[in-house]
Amino acid sequence: MKTRGALLWEPGTRSGWSVEEIELDPPKEHEALIKLAASGVCHSDDHLDTGDIPLPWAPVLGGHEGAGVVEEVGPGVTAVKPGDHVVLSFLPSCGRCRMCVKGKSNMCELGAGVLAGVAPDGTHRVHARGQGVGCMSYLGTFAPYVVAPLDAVIPIPEDMPLDKAALIGCGVPTGWGSSVYAAEIELGDTVVVVGTGGVGMNAVQGARHKGARNVVAVDPAPFKREKAVEFGATHVAKDYEEAGQIVESLTNGQGADRVIITVGVVTGDLMNPAQEMTRRGGTMVLTGAAPVLQRDVPFDLFTFAMSGKRLQGSLYGTTTSRTDVPLLADLYLRGELKLDELITRTYSWTTSTRPSGTCTTARTCVA
Ligand SMILES: [Zn+2]
Ligand SMILES: [Zn+2]
């Protein structure tokens, strides 16, 4: 079918998104055509434009946070049917590879190909100006329709509002799971969340779900500090220094049990101050994306080893999308997960203005 999509023709050059006609192939075996209700704008989309995540190929159809209704399925597909409400997961889970069967589906082998620029079978589903278009995360939700591999299609209850559901395909589980799984928060912990944007806000929510006693949200933006309190932060700080003082007084100088880094663009200098704030035996979680070529990290290795600290990387919040996406939808429907409050601005698909660097075309923008 002919439709429209937002493409980057020159990734890494900050040239911005071009909204233009695209041609979408029908779904093949193990695929479904989804009519999207909403798409989130994730910082990772912007990383493609800025070059923090370099792409060696072009063009790319952006967007990887979407929810909608199944319109059509490929030959032999029985896992979903037209009319099903689904979330598109930015990382697929095949259910068969070693990591999937070990319950670590965020490490699914298929996930390694989400930025390869082709569908899992090595071909293109989207075409523009007579050439194949790569889709972010095998999806490309900056379009009204997506042909997605079933491994990334997760059914949700029909009473879950789709515009909110779009957020639980990437940003929400990434932050929430950083607290709930990656940080292994325990009841009564003191937790610091560094950077409370769309991901960090959900780390704050996750910390409260796991019973953290103190949740210190660190963000230079006053608006985000205010919002963090709404999401469950017990304390706020504008920078590391202020956070360090709060943590010291809360823990009698022992340090935080967990420090979770959810900054939009992580630089090496953010790591050692996080360690200084972490108690002996405590855990640091690194969730935010650094520029791909970032290598230098000044880090007190002696203290790190001698005080038995742990540094844990986290992709997709270390969640298992098949179970956690429906769980997050259920928590929202029970009033135990805030999603409405994450949405700071909504754009219609047809907007031609460009309100900010990344929000040209998508419908939902995260705090
Ligand atoms: Zn994302
Ligand atoms: Zn797998």
Average pLDDT over residues 87-91: 97
- Res. 358: pLDDT tops 70: no
> In the structure, what pLDDT confidence band is assigned to residue 367 with cuts at 50, 70 and 90?
very low
Residue 360 in this model has a pLDDT that exceeds 80: no
- 362 pLDDT band, cuts 50/70/90, is very low
Query: Which ligand lies nearest to the CA atom of residue 94 in the structure?
Result: 2
Helix (H, G, I), strand (E, B) or coil at 280: strand
Catalytic residue among 43, 64, 85, 124: 64
Overall average pLDDT of the 16-43 stretch: 95
Mean pLDDT along residues 348-356: 50
State the CB neighbour count (10 A cutoff) for residue 270: 18
Task: Provide CATH code, domain 175-315.
Answer: 3.40.50.720
pLDDT tens per residue, range 203-218? 999 999 999 999 999 9
Domain ranges of the chain: 2-169+337-366, 175-315
User: For the segment 66-78, what is each residue's pLDDT rounded down to a tens digit?
Assistant: 999 999 999 999 9
d(CA 209, CA 89): 22
15 catalytic per annotation:
no
The verdict on whether 30 is a catalytic residue reads no
Compute, in angstroms, the gap from residue 92 CA to the centroid of ligand 2.
8
φ, ψ of residue 294 to 5 degrees: the values are -65, 125
pLDDT tens by residue, 96-113: 999 999 999 999 999 989
Q: What is the mean pLDDT of residues 29-50?
A: 93
Of 39, 44, 137, 179, which residue is the catalytic one? 44
Task: Judge whether 44 counts as a catalytic residue.
Answer: yes
- Give me the architecture of the 2-169+337-366 domain, per CATH: Alpha-Beta Complex (3.90)
> 260 with 203: CB under 8 angstroms?
yes
Query: What is the pLDDT confidence band of residue 52, given thresholds at 50, 70 and 90?
Result: confident
Among this protein's residues, is 89 annotated catalytic? no
Q: Is 47 a catalytic residue?
A: yes
Ligand 2 centroid, distance to 162 Cα (angstroms): 26
Q: Which ligand is nearest to the CA of 168?
A: 1
Decide: pTM greater than 0.75: yes
Q: Residue 63 above 60 pLDDT? A: yes
CA distance 115 to 64: 11
Q: What is the mean pLDDT of the chain?
A: 93
Average the pLDDT over 265-287 and give the result: 97
State the distance from the centre of ligand 1 to the C-alpha of 358, rounded, in angstroms: 13
Which of the ligands is closest to the CA of residue 172? Answer: 1
Residue 54 has which token pair? 């370099």
Indicate which ligand has the atom closest to the C-alpha of 48: 1
Distance 315 CA to ligand 2 centre (A): 14
Mean pLDDT of 261-271: 95
Q: In the prediction, which pLDDT does 292 show?
A: 87
Beta strands at 235-237 and 214-218: parallel, antiparallel or unpaired = parallel
